[in-house]
Amino acid sequence: MKSKSNVWVFVLITFAFSWLFWIPDALIAQHIWNAPEGVKTFLAGPFNLGPWGPLVGAILVTLIYQGDAGVKALLKRGLMARLGKWWWIILLLFPVLIGGSLALAILFGDPAPEFPALAQPIGLPIAFVVIFFFGGPLQEEFGWRGYAFENLRNKYDALTAAIIAGLMWGLWHLPLFFVPRQEYYYNRPVWGLLLTTVLVGIILAWFYANTKGSIFAAMLGHTMFNWSNYVFPTLGSDVAALILFGFYFLVVAYIIWQYGRKTLTKVKAA
């Protein structure tokens, strides 16, 4: 029996919550609103609550449609850490793809960039923990994979559900393109981010589907994706970025070929 849900209510709550904090910051950055200094400092700082929208949306909509028991089940899936062989796939895939793309670009003659993260290796595990809890995975994966993908695949095949969830994920970031940020994504055309969230979203959905709905697996994969982009400045090179997109397409093609679009797993749907 399928649990009651409403993905579009989730999207409405998630976007409304996040954009409530992000749009004012964008208006300030574009010199449209001259806000008080305290407001500017809060919105531009690390305590801006915008990134927490997907988690807030997932919990609220689950509470509305499934009650306390549904929320407990949702949160429990964030603790499902018994991943078997998937531990290694999740931990290694993005560093290999992202680091490998940069290495190939350098071999093809692209100038070698600086690696500030690798200059202080003691900071790498610290960065991993910070990214996991405050850099996107915890804030987002309960929503995009744990709620949106999980419920969309009750209506669509898993590949279509992953693509829709990936588009939602990308569009959610739109206000951030109007605020000066260090991340490469926000200094490039928006289509690059949307293509990335769709392709990476399929990969994260593949992790999730093959670990019995483990939101922890999706969070770990999201962490490795962000951490790898922090370690390897791949997106700073046009050549490396194009190679990386090619790799993402190859991985997604392999997933569809080997696991099928219906479930993204080798277990047949009932």
Is pTM, for the whole model, over 0.75?
Answer: yes
pLDDT of residue 3: 66
Can you tell me the distance from the alpha carbon of 10 to that of 189, in angstroms, rounded to the nearest whole number? 27
Residue 132's contacts (CB-CB under 8 Å, 6 or more residues apart) are 138, 219, 220, 223
pLDDT of residue 241: 95
Q: What is the mean pLDDT of residues 140-160?
A: 97
Q: What is the mean pLDDT of residues 196-225?
A: 98
| CB 194 within 8 Å of CB 171 | yes
Q: Please name the residue ranges forming H helices in 115-187.
A: 123-134, 137-143, 150-152, 158-172
Phi then psi dihedrals of residue 148, to 5 deg = -65, -60
pLDDT of residue 182: 81
Q: What is the mean pLDDT of residues 211-220?
A: 98
pLDDT of residue 269: 46
pLDDT tens, 34-51? 999 999 999 999 899 999
Phi then psi dihedrals of residue 108, to 5 deg = -80, 0
Half-sphere exposure of 71 (CA within 13 A, CB side): 11
Closest listed residue to residue 219, CA positions, set 134, 154, 118? 134
CB contact burial 130-163 (16+ within 10 A = b; e otherwise)? ebbeebbbbbbbbbbbbbbbbbbbeeebbbebbb
